Amino acid sequence: MGELTFQWPAALWLLALLPLLVVFYTWCLRQPSPRVVLHPQVADIAAAAARGGRWRRHLPAILLGSVITLLIVAMGRPVAPLPVPASNVYVVLSIDVSRSMLAQDIRPSRIEAAKMAAMEFVRVMPRGAHIGLVTFSSYATLLVPPTLDHERVIRAIEGITVEFATAIGDGLLEAVYALPGRPRPRNLSEPPLPSQGKLPPGTVVLMSDGQNNRGASPLEAARIARDLQVKVYTVGIGTPEGTWLDVEGRGVWVTLDEETLRGIAEITGGSYFHVSSTRDLYRTYRALGHLVGWERKPTEVTALVCAAAAVLLAGTLVFSVTGVYRMLEYPVRPR
């Protein structure tokens, strides 16, 4: 996360003068007034002021002290880690579109909830991020190669339909080979050699709700992704216990293979997320969008501190002016 640092920390020594200001303020309050004001209703005015609260008379001084503190901090030129769009981001969404995604344990259905969450993922990504889309069932299909045209990706997500079977390994490999610097090998029976140099950053977000029953081994595909310097985040939708799904009048029992999805994430250095509701799925994809597309960089925040000081100063002036007439809120009884 990082910590707050200062480019000119010597200026912070001025904070040592703040206790002297407090002492000076206290001394000023104890000094007798140089003028004597005669008024026939002094007792009522004093009572009205007392009902206004003693702390209010000190609030302008407290606010002014806060302003001085912020200005001294600003002089030190503070630097804080702030989220900024990550540079050179390439990420491919790989979504399971097998028939089990028609299950309605997540409303309105798993596939519709997944589509909405995936579109939210695209929306929270910075404009400079290259985003691609892969779907997999019996086989994997690259619908959109990594592109800066995020609207194109969203339109492709909206058009997703379900098919048959679940080929998780193929879906992962298709996404990996869509990333720059990772060409598909001519002989698919042999895994590509590990890269010797630094490849462009690449990330895959893979979502599935079932068990692999076609194509390449998911864990072997994960090892290939690791060798090609691709980090994979996996999202499991549904319950490990499984649920019944009616497919064309025939009941099918579908279960979630969490162990495989967790293994893929661990092998590649990513993370596994399990979701069991529409809200969880939405939050997970939104969090992944911030995790993948944004990074924290040291950024000078002097302007922000000065802006906060200006707001406090305006509040000090407003309260000081209105405080003069505060006693008018309390009626004075005529004698």
Residue 334 lies in a domain: no
Whether residue 237 sits in one domain with residue 155: yes
305 shares a domain with 239 = no
Does the structure show a pLDDT above 70 at 330?
Answer: no
Q: What is the pLDDT of residue 319?
A: 74
Coil, helix or strand for 324? helix
Same domain, 209 and 146: yes
CATH of the domain at 96: 3.40.50.410
- Which of 24-28, 35-39, 246-250, 307-311: highest mean pLDDT? 307-311
Both 254 and 137 in one domain: the answer is yes
* Residue 113, domain member (yes or no): yes
Q: What is the predicted pLDDT for the residue at 49?
A: 54
pLDDT score, position 327: 44
Would you say residue 2 has pLDDT above 90? no
- How far is the CA of 176 from the CAs of 55, 104, 108, 230, 307, in angstroms? 64, 30, 30, 7, 45
Three-state SS at 86: coil
pLDDT tens readout for residues 201-212 = 999 999 998 889
In this structure, the answer to whether residues 291 and 307 fall within a common structural domain is no
Q: Same domain for 71 and 99? A: no
pTM of the model: 0.72
Report yes or no: 254 and 210 within 8 Å, Cβ to Cβ: yes
Task: Report whether pLDDT(325) > 50.
Answer: no
One domain, residues 97 and 204: yes
- Would you state the pLDDT for residue 64? 85
Query: Residues 122-161: pLDDT tens digits?
Result: 999 999 999 999 999 999 999 999 999 999 999 999 999 9
Residue 322 pLDDT greater than 60, yes or no? yes
Distances (CA, A) of 172 to 88, 115, 187, 219: 21, 18, 17, 10
Percent of the chain surpassing pLDDT 90: 50
What does the pLDDT read at residue 255? 77
For residue 148, being part of any structural domain is answered with yes
Output 117 or 54, whichever has higher pLDDT. 117
107 and 245 co-located in one domain? yes
Number of domains comprising the chain:
2
Domain residues for the domain of 158 are: 85-185+193-297
